[in-house]
Amino acid sequence: MLFPTFDFLLFALPVLIGFWALAERPVARVLFLLCASYFFYMAGPKTEPLPAPWYYAGLLAFSTLLDFVAGGAIHRLAPAADGDDPRRAAWARRKQGAWLLASLVGNLGLLGYFKYANFLIEAFGDIAGAAGIPVSGLHLDVVLPLGISFYTFQSLSYTLDIWRGRLEPEPSLRRFALFVVFFPQLVAGPIVRAKELLPQLRAGPRFSREGLEVGAFRICKGLVKKVVLGDFIAVALTDRIFDAPTTFSSAELMVALYAYTLQIYADFSGYSDIAIGLSRMLGFSIPENFDRPYQSRDIAEYWRRWHMTLSTWLRDYVFFSVLSRLGSRWGYFAVWLTMFLVGMWHGASWNFVFYANIHALAMVFNRWNRTRPPQPLSRRLLLWPLGLGAIAAAVAGIAWFGLRLPWPQAIGVGVGVAVLMLGISALPSAGGRLNAAAHVALTFHLLVLSRIFFRSPDLATSRDFITGLVALDGHGIRPGLTTPWVWGLLAFGLVYHLTPRRWVDESLCRAFRRVPGVVLGLGFIALAYGLMRLMQDQPRAFIYFQF
């Protein structure tokens, strides 16, 4: 069931009314919302190809039961693990470790099988073939369950926090099950921690006019982002170019990259806006997931602003775990591993290996650039050309060997990346507005170029796209490829993103709340009608559904 559809409206209105009608009946309220959430999940989006069958909800129930039991067992063993008897404490810690391992294997095993098994088989065959060992093709007939990347991380965090002694277990299975399956953010986030939502479920929601008004504003904002800045741009421009990159000029390919960079932000942040808005209308608060990410001055700030709940999840459970076990001398490895996992979380293909490493190595470079001791100008003039040449040679070699780019294009890619990194390292870390604008521009273009691997369906398409991009053929943009509407939306989306957050989330929201209810209702009907006409009764699934 997709948010911008009439089907979802027919689902959401009765759920809101029924939920608040049961506000004074906590058990019935939780069971009602739990059943509604499972119904929402099993209904699935009506897209092509069709999502996993409804009975894949059994995987969701399995993760819920596994972590509920594991968390409770780990907590019950805690007194013995912290006791004075060394032998009993060692036994209790081993048992706690076994329950934690069961949770990790159960959750990550399901995620690994459904999402990564075929890619690992493919990767093994490719590596063996490169070594001259032919391996017959094998492909598992599996369908990726909807939202599995989100709900496995959400459920697993509960067990990890109990194991770390930072969370008390939830005594009620129905409340814990609702925490895992809460429908607004179930299939595409934000990833909510148990400590953020479970206390709200225990206390019960508080009805407020402000919650309804702010929630309605966030939903309207998310729908406009998704349908107007996401789907319309995809249909009118980006899909056509990414489907056949060899038939378009360098300038057209670059425009498609800019357009897709805006499209994916509008699509995913639009989903998060709708999820947060629905939660507010139900009386709950879930964490923000976006904070104007394209205003970031470096790659580290970008990941603090983009998909924030995933970034902080992996930071807390991977980065700090590596540092605590291996020490600060492994800091660069911890940064690389965390960001590599962030990238690979998004997809299982060679494309995402490149995408993950681009962001991971950029983060490592950013850490080095921020912590390196200042160098005198004479030394910089000596070392920078050497560094430029080494980076260009390394990137060109990867582009030639990994992407099979012809040497001229591979060298062009290497020089381009080296110049970008040199520009980033040459800029002072602090300064005036021009310095900040230069940092933002360089970071933004690194993100834009990495979208080649994110959007392309395979490495062959990525290779064709990069080849056409670095050709610099000078053909320009052919007449009729885009319309004034598309150019206007691209300009509006960029300007909107560069505005201060308070302009929209505070000032515009206050103005929205002052509109009379009758006018607001008529406006919402007009908005819904306009969006349905724009979709032409063919709603597109959110991009992050595939992750």
* Whole-number Å distance between alpha carbons of 188 and 150: 6
Residues with a catalytic annotation lie at 346
Q: Residue 434: what pLDDT?
A: 86
Residue ending a domain, among 164, 183, 205, is 205
Residue 128 lies in a domain: no
Does the pLDDT value for residue 189 go beyond 80? no
Q: What is the pTM of this model?
A: 0.90
pLDDT digits (tens, 9 = 90+) for 304-324: 999 999 999 999 998 888 888
* Whole-number Å distance between alpha carbons of 41 and 151: 12
Q: Residue 371: what pLDDT?
A: 80
Residue 454 lies in a domain: no
Confidence of residue 46 (pLDDT cuts 50, 70, 90): low
Does the pLDDT value for residue 384 go beyond 70? no
Q: What is the DSSP string of 137-150?
A: -------PPTTHHH
User: 275 and 158 in one domain?
Assistant: no
Opening angle at CA 208, ends 203 and 212, nearest 5: 115
Confidence of residue 403 (pLDDT cuts 50, 70, 90): confident
The length of the chain, given as a count of residues = 547
pLDDT digits (tens, 9 = 90+) for 246-303: 899 989 999 999 999 999 999 889 999 999 999 999 999 999 999 999 999 888 899 9
Torsion of CA 113, 401, 244, 452, to 10 degrees: 70
User: 275 and 149 in one domain?
Assistant: no
Output phi, psi for 10, to 5 deg: -65, -25
Confidence of residue 198 (pLDDT cuts 50, 70, 90): very high
Least confident of 125-129, 211-215, 325-329, 479-483: 125-129
Nearest to 191 by CA among 338, 37, 309: 309
Does the pLDDT value for residue 368 go beyond 90? no
DSSP assignment, residue 112? I
The two tokens of residue 543 are 């991009």
User: 113 and 48 in one domain?
Assistant: yes
Residue ending a domain, among 160, 183, 205, is 205
Residue 543 lies in a domain: yes
Nearest to 102 by CA among 165, 186, 160: 160
User: 248 and 198 in one domain?
Assistant: no
Does the pLDDT value for residue 376 go beyond 70? no
> Any residues with CB less than 8 A from the CB of 461 and at least 6 apart, and which?
242, 245
Contact in structure between 261 and 234 (CB atoms under 8 Å): no
What average pLDDT does range 315-339 have in this prediction?
86
> Any residues with CB less than 8 A from the CB of 168 and at least 6 apart, and which?
75, 162
Nearest to 449 by CA among 257, 306, 268: 257
> Any residues with CB less than 8 A from the CB of 171 and at least 6 apart, and which?
none
Q: Residue 521: what pLDDT?
A: 78
Domain that holds residue 113: 6-122+142-205
Which SS3 state, helix, strand or coil, does residue 287 take?
A: coil
> Any residues with CB less than 8 A from the CB of 86 and at least 6 apart, and which?
none
User: 179 and 235 in one domain?
Assistant: no
> Any residues with CB less than 8 A from the CB of 72 and at least 6 apart, and which?
169
User: 149 and 64 in one domain?
Assistant: yes
Nearest to 398 by CA among 445, 346, 353: 353
Q: Residue 306: what pLDDT?
A: 92
User: 157 and 80 in one domain?
Assistant: yes
Residue 65 lies in a domain: yes
Does the pLDDT value for residue 395 go beyond 90? no
Contact in structure between 59 and 110 (CB atoms under 8 Å): yes
User: 286 and 172 in one domain?
Assistant: no
What average pLDDT does range 126-145 have in this prediction?
75
Residue 37 lies in a domain: yes
Strand (E) or helix (H) holding 38: helix 26-43
> How many domains does the chain divide into?
2
pLDDT digits (tens, 9 = 90+) for 435-454: 888 888 888 988 998 899 89
Q: Residue 279: what pLDDT?
A: 93
Contact in structure between 540 and 234 (CB atoms under 8 Å): yes
Between helix 57-81 and helix 86-111 the angle, nearest 10°, is 170
Give the largest CA-CA distance in the chain.
Answer: 80
User: 97 and 169 in one domain?
Assistant: yes
Q: Residue 537: what pLDDT?
A: 55
Residue 213 lies in a domain: no
User: 198 and 73 in one domain?
Assistant: yes
Residue 509 lies in a domain: yes
Does the pLDDT value for residue 50 go beyond 60? no
pLDDT-above-90 percentage for the chain: 26
User: 190 and 80 in one domain?
Assistant: yes
Residue 430 lies in a domain: no
Least confident of 75-79, 392-396, 452-456, 483-487: 392-396
* Whole-number Å distance between alpha carbons of 351 and 374: 36
Contact in structure between 1 and 539 (CB atoms under 8 Å): no
User: 152 and 51 in one domain?
Assistant: yes
Residue ending a domain, among 153, 181, 205, is 205
